[in-house]
């Protein structure tokens, strides 16, 4: 592995574009080598101004590009699994946006595939535990500086959501951060979950205006 991670960002949509910007302007020790999107024009637009980066239309092209030695997966969740297997075969370090895969069975298969390599290669995009404030709170809880933990109360508000954002995506793409935070703070597994849907305002998009995901 070289000192510089040459990253292939797979998916140039909302999250992919954010990662591309961070890698090219704020991150040390890593840079964008390739951007992949089924919409090649979008991939080309994403690499504008990034020296040495190439726009590609398939993940296979990126993984077989000799200039790539790391992968960032920012496609919709249902596309993650196949790309993860191929990146593991290359033994590349991988940052995968959540969810790892859309269901527990396929996610477990990916974990087993990673375990078979003999070392960790996949990190899922749970970034909160790396925030200084989260780390400090975690220490307070684990050291019981203020006594025993009785309850955790989390609030997560998205300022806006893209067209087509479904209730399922609310859990898989947003509330999943709370799942990770609870495990981080408590060191315990979640045993029970309830989901309660509140009443929508008259300004909310109705089901008829949200594209089907089936």
Q: Which two tokens stand for residue 30?
A: 């890593």
Shared domain check, 51 and 33: yes
Residue 80 domain flag: yes
* pLDDT per position as a tens digit, 155-191: 888 777 777 777 787 888 888 899 999 999 999 999 9
Give the global pTM. Answer: 0.83
Looking at the structure, tell me whether residues 108 and 43 fall in a common domain.
yes
Domain that holds residue 61: 5-124
114 plus 133 within the same structural domain: no
Q: Indicate whether 196 belongs to any domain.
A: no
From the number of C-beta atoms within 10 Å of its C-beta (0-12, 13-18, 19+), residue 73 rates as buried
pLDDT in tens, 13-67: 989 999 999 999 999 999 999 999 999 999 999 999 999 999 999 999 999 999 9
107 and 141 assigned to the same domain: no
The Cα–Cα gap between 190 and 91 comes to: 31
Same domain assignment for residues 101 and 133: no
């Amino acid at each position: 592995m070289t000192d510089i991670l040459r990253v292939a960002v797979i998916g140039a949509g909302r999250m992919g574009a954010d990662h591309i910007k961070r890698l090219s302007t704020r991150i040390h020790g890593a840079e964008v080598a390739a951007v992949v999107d089924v919409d090649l024009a979008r991939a080309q637009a994403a690499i504008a101004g990034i020296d040495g980066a190439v726009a590609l239309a398939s993940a296979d092209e990126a993984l077989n590009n000799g200039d790539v030695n790391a992968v960032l997966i920012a496609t919709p969740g249902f596309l993650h699994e196949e790309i993860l297997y191929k990146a593991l075969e290359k033994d590349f370090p991988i940052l995968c946006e959540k969810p790892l895969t859309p269901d527990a069975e396929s996610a477990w298969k990916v974990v087993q595939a990673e375990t078979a390599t003999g070392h960790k290669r996949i990190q899922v995009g749970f970034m909160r535990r790396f925030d200084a404030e989260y780390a400090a709170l975690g220490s307070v809880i684990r050291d019981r500086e203020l006594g025993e933990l009785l309850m955790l109360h989390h609030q997560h508000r998205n300022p806006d959501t893209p067209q087509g954002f479904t209730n399922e995506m609310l859990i898989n793409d947003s509330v999943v951060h709370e799942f990770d935070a609870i495990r981080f703070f408590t060191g315990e597994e979640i045993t029970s979950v309830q989901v309660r849907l509140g009443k929508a305002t008259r300004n909310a998009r109705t089901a008829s205006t949200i594209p089907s995901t089936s």
